[in-house]
């Protein structure tokens, strides 16, 4: 009786094994995964965060640098698609391998391979700012000629970090989670011109700026040019801030007449500096992976931030009419103003002359704005 039961159990188990599809039996052909994704524009944007032409251009750049090449198992298009899907959707290795029918080792291998390739050519994507007056400044009467020497805006943002218990205190930011404090500068086309990632969330924006100025490759500061920065930074020759005290945020000033030169300056400054807030907003909408604690070593987390800033710039060049911009603008229109911390002194950078020049630039812009405003309103 026991022998018959054991035999019956073995027969049932063999039948189950035959009817159950092996995990990797649905192996897609060499290009089938890419064909599935790129068969329609909307589907490509939903999966890879870029349209078909933008994707093909991105692949061509990586292929032409000889950093990536086709293999027997995976063409360059599929390697890049795996990378973009993981970044764009915060997909785990297990989910991606189930979708494309590849082993977990292969998914991990090609994600890291493409990540390293993008980092090796990041200078092709993140370019220093032009010294010419930005066309968006030149075409806006609220900003021209007052901010004609402005080359962009800078700010810091907090991006989720996964760290050990020992490092948790250093990376715990004021927003209530472990984070990297990422400093970035962008131009008025919403493309990053400088990115410094990896600082602890506890670090102040001013401290991160000190680091950006002391590195072997510091943040680009052309002579006579400056970035717009929020009140969390000190006013320096290359970083012009608003006046503390008068209302500053766009949502506070919408439809309101300025009552003083400082308030008028703050309104115009806020409108121009808002480009960095919008740029960060679009990046975080498009890249859900940086909105949750990642399962990578800290160094790899820093690499991922830098890589997707490169991808963001590529998308901005190839897809200027990005749907995420409208979404971010709607959210910012109703968002409450964010509290700006007090600036921390920069002992090694803010020499008296640097502070004096920054103050003169800001006062000169304010006086010019107020004279023209009063003349326009019919006052002498």
Domain-wise residue ranges, the chain: 15-120, 135-376
List pLDDT tens digits, range 13-35: 665 554 444 444 444 555 677 88
Q: Are strands 150-160 and 226-228 parallel, antiparallel or unpaired?
A: parallel
Strand-pair partners of 236:
239
| pLDDT given at position 27 | 46
List pLDDT tens digits, range 20-79: 444 444 445 556 778 888 888 888 888 888 999 999 999 999 999 989 998 887 889 989
Counting DSSP H helices and E strands in the chain, the numbers are 15, 5
- Closest alpha carbon to 129 in 113, 105, 150, 106: 150
Q: Would you call 136 helix, strand, or coil by DSSP?
A: helix
Return the H-helix or E-strand segment holding 57. helix 52-64
Longest Cα–Cα distance in the chain? 111
| pLDDT given at position 73 | 79
**Whether 47 contacts 288, CB under 8 Å:** no
Lowest mean pLDDT among 15-29, 59-73, 96-110, 118-132: 15-29
List C-alpha distances in Å: 2 to 5, 8, 16. 5, 10, 21
**What pTM did the predictor assign?**
0.86
Residues 6+ apart with CB under 8 A from 311: 49, 58, 84, 87, 118, 125, 287
Q: Mean per-residue pLDDT for 106-130?
A: 93
Lowest mean pLDDT among 39-43, 194-198, 368-372: 39-43
Residue 225 has pLDDT above 80, yes or no: yes
- Strands, E, within the chain: which ranges? 150-160, 179-186, 192-200, 226-228, 239-240
**In this structure, what token pair is assigned to residue 134?**
């930005």
- Closest alpha carbon to 119 in 69, 62, 74: 62
Q: Would you call 208 helix, strand, or coil by DSSP?
A: helix
| pLDDT given at position 13 | 62
Cα angle value 85/91/92 (rounded, 5°): 130
How much of the chain exceeds pLDDT 70, in percent?
Answer: 79
């Amino acid at each position: 009786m026991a022998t018959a039961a054991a035999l019956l159990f073995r027969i049932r188990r063999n039948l189950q094994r035959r009817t159950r599809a092996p995990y990797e039996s649905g192996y897609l052909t060499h290009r089938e995964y890419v064909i599935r994704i790129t068969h329609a524009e909307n589907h490509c944007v939903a999966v890879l965060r870029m349209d078909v032409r933008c994707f093909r251009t991105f692949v061509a750049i990586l292929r032409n640098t000889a950093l990536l090449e086709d293999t027997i198992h995976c063409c360059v298009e599929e390697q890049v698609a795996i990378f973009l899907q993981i970044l764009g959707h915060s997909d785990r290795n297990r989910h991606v391998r189930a979708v494309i029918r590849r082993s977990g080792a292969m998914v991990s291998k090609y994600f890291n391979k493409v990540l390293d390739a993008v980092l090796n050519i990041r200078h092709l994507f993140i370019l220093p700012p032009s010294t010419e007056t930005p066309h968006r400044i030149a075409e806006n009467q609220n900003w021209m000629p007052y901010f004609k020497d402005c080359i962009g805006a800078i700010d810091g943002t907090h991006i989720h970090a996964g760290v050990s218990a020992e490092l948790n205190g250093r990376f715990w930011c004021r927003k209530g989670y472990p984070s990297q404090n990422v400093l970035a500068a962008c131009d008025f086309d919403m493309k990053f011109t400088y990115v410094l990632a990896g600082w602890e969330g506890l670090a102040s924006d001013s401290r991160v700026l000190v680091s950006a100025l002391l590195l072997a490759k510091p943040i680009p500061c052309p002579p006579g040019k400056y970035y717009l920065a929020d009140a969390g930074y000190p006013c320096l020759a290359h970083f012009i801030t608003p006046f503390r005290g008068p209302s500053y945020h766009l949502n506070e000033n919408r439809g309101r007449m300025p009552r003083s030169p400082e308030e008028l300056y703050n309104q115009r400054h806020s409108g121009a500096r808002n480009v960095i807030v919008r740029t960060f907003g679009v990046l975080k909408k498009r890249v859900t992976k940086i909105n949750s604690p990642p399962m990578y070593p800290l160094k790899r987390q820093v690499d991922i931030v830098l890589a997707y800033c490169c991808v963001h710039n590529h998308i901005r060049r190839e897809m200027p009419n990005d749907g995420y911009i409208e979404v971010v603008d709607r959210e910012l229109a109703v968002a409450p103003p964010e509290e700006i911390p007090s600036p921390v002194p920069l002992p090694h950078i803010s020499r008296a002359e640097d502070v004096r020049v920054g103050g003169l630039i800001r006062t000169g812009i304010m006086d010019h704005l107020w004279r023209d405003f009063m003349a326009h309103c019919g006052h002498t």
